[in-house]
Structure 1
């Protein structure tokens, strides 16, 4: 990779799993970044890449030449956006659907410009998916010079805020008929044993994660082979990422019990007033009591009690039938498609057409499948 630098800054293309990597500098940036992203921290990303064949992913870091302090960083790899065209992409995945790069609050405007140019690589195109568009980091990248930026793949997913607005969101979600019905279902669940909610943190959360893995594997995800415990590599990555976060006290597991029976569990990462709902599981034998919804509401309540709490991101797909009626806020996300050079617009148009073709074929396949089901 060609060297990119300014009088004060330089860009490095690093192997995230390199034993000589300055982990303190990386972790330090993660802990102060404008917008938290636990999935781009070394505690999560290194286990993910180690166990999930991420050897080709590189960490693009902008750092101060004199002090060595990191000013911006994100993992980047090459993959298809649509049917055919591979481009450089910020490494957000199904296990980490948040593409916000780590950006130092004191970074100047040249920092995102250098980062974007370096991350785009020889192909001169970079995609940053699953990016909260109202975040400060997104705004600074949109204002960066030197490239052509378009926003695509926009959608909204469930979230909730803190403070007075969050309290109002909770009252709206847990009022009227829903409140009456949820209380009735919780009483019915209590017929199987006294119900109680609990939150685990630190070492107890690490231990509780094993119970979560068993609960998830016993349900539909286990039957479909998508539970974390279904494959050795996903179980190994998850255990290490959880252990790392628990050690930093950046992990919480909320649980609902009926007597001595665990009926629902929710794994959350927390970073400086932000909470990220990573994985949820429930015992399907108790599905008629809506244990997942019961726990999500309790998590909402607990989040509002956290000093300095500002945002809970569900990380859920848009339109999620369980969480959207309960977490009433909406987080607008999109993909930044950044291109450089004289043919920047052409490169972007080709990428957009490729993505549109994939969406069309997926829609056609779903329609055909639905017709075959009803034939």
Structure 2
């Protein structure tokens, strides 16, 4: 390793470059055992920043490759106590300003991994790593605004006289898996809707016995994954060109990540079958006591039986019956028409701008650039909407 202090005496500029390179490293430079151990101690679960998932995303997934890591170590520099996958602001949005942005791991959650046993050390060291990497600000995308990771970062910022800015936010559906599933579903959907869903299920049974299957082991999860990929590609995502199977990089990522997580019991594929036909399937990640509902695919030939809803009802019962799971994140968009009526828990997700220096005019420029980008995107969206009318 380069001796930065020695280099500084010879060439201050190159020493600064060396320090910046040391502060931000390739994700592959993080020792996998250290990363997994940190994930087990993380103050807030995030299945999308588990090493098997994020390394696969960063290697091949469409538009998400090339992420680096801000690592934080304890005083002995031997124990990893914090990890934040990042990309540059230029790589994220083509904005040429000195900021780092949380790397998007395909799932819509970017809360960093912070060691619960020493969060008071981990959070400030992550921010210091960002400073040493040359950043004037961090933009954390899709973080749980009231989650433990953001609370830890907010505490650190408060001690430094710095204030984060919430750039955008929305409310997302979640499941309280500690409750009785049938009571929860009755409260959420009501007797009339549940009766209609039972009628649809009985109609579905005309095509064969309806079975809910959970694939967990690597040998059983691989064929279940292929079933899911075919279902997803056969539906509206396939028509829109956004199904995982339609991009070679996306297909490689998911085929690498899912079996790898199954090795540590952190992923499962759920499938609803009517006779020999798979009518719906989904991917569920598991981290600590939380599940993450990643994606859903359905056979639209069975659309009149609400196969996606039927699968979600079964998933709800499955998770509520599992003592290892306390909650589930839908990772869905705001006001999602399918999941919101079923999973009635709510929490706030948002993009947060974190200044790294006090009274820094560059942070104001970064904020203004982000606002201008959002205004331009919204203007373009409205224009496209008008043109389609």
TM-score (norm 2): 0.86
In 2, distance between residues paired with 1:108 and 1:98?
A: 19
Contact 1:73–1:115 (CA<8 Å) still a contact in 2?
yes
SS in 1 for 2:164: strand
Which of these residues, 277, 285, 298, is aligned with residue 301 of structure 2? Answer: 285
2-side partners of 1:167 and 1:34: how far apart?
30
> Any idea what SS the aligned residue of 1:263 has?
strand
Q: 1:276 maps to what in 2?
A: 292
Partner Cα distance (1:302, 1:36) in 2: 20
Partner residue in 2 for 1:256: 272
1:143–1:165 Cα change, 3 Å? farther
Q: CA RMSD in A?
A: 2.3
How big is each residue's C-alpha offset from its partner over 1:212-257, in whole Å with a ceiling of 9 and x where there is no partner? 1111122222222211111111111110101110111111111111
Mean Cα displacement is larger for which, 152-161 or 142-151?
142-151
1:141 is aligned to 2:153: yes
Cα distance in 2 for partners of 1:67, 1:110 equals 12
| 2:216 equivalent in structure 1 | 201
Judged with a 3 Å threshold, the aligned counterparts in structure 2 of structure 1 residues 363 and 56 are, in CA distance, closer, same or farther, namely closer
Q: Residue 35 of structure 1: SS of its match in structure 2?
A: coil
Segment drifting more, 38-47 vs 118-127: 118-127
Q: C-alpha separation between the residues in 2 aligned to 1:111 and 1:194?
A: 52
Q: Deviations over 1:66-103 (max 9, x none)?
A: 3611111111111357684553011124x121111111
1:104 aligns with 2:79: no
Which residue of the partner structure matches residue 70 of structure 2?
60
Map of 2:127 onto structure 1: 116
Separation of aligned partners in 2, 1:169 and 1:85: 48
Q: Decide whether aligned partners of structure 1 residues 371 and 151 sit closer, same or farther in structure 2, where only a CA change above 3 A counts.
A: closer
Distance 1:196-1:39 versus aligned 2 partners, 3 A rule? same
Structure 2, gaps ≥5 residues long: 1-16
Higher helix share: 2
- What is the aligned length? 364
Cα deviation, 1:259-314, whole Å, max 9, x if unaligned, reads 10000001100112100001100001111111001111111111111114221101
Aligned to 2:228: 212
The 10-residue stretch of structure 1 (61-70 or 138-147) with the greater mean CA deviation from structure 2: 61-70
**Larger mean Cα displacement after TM superposition, 115-124 or 310-319:** 115-124
Please tell me whether residue 237 in structure 1 is matched to residue 253 in structure 2. Answer: yes
CA distance in 2, matches of 1:79, 1:28: 29
Alignment correspondent of 2:388: 373
Between the aligned partners of 1:304 and 1:71, the Cα distance in structure 2 is 31
What's the TM-score once normalised by structure 1's chain length?
0.90
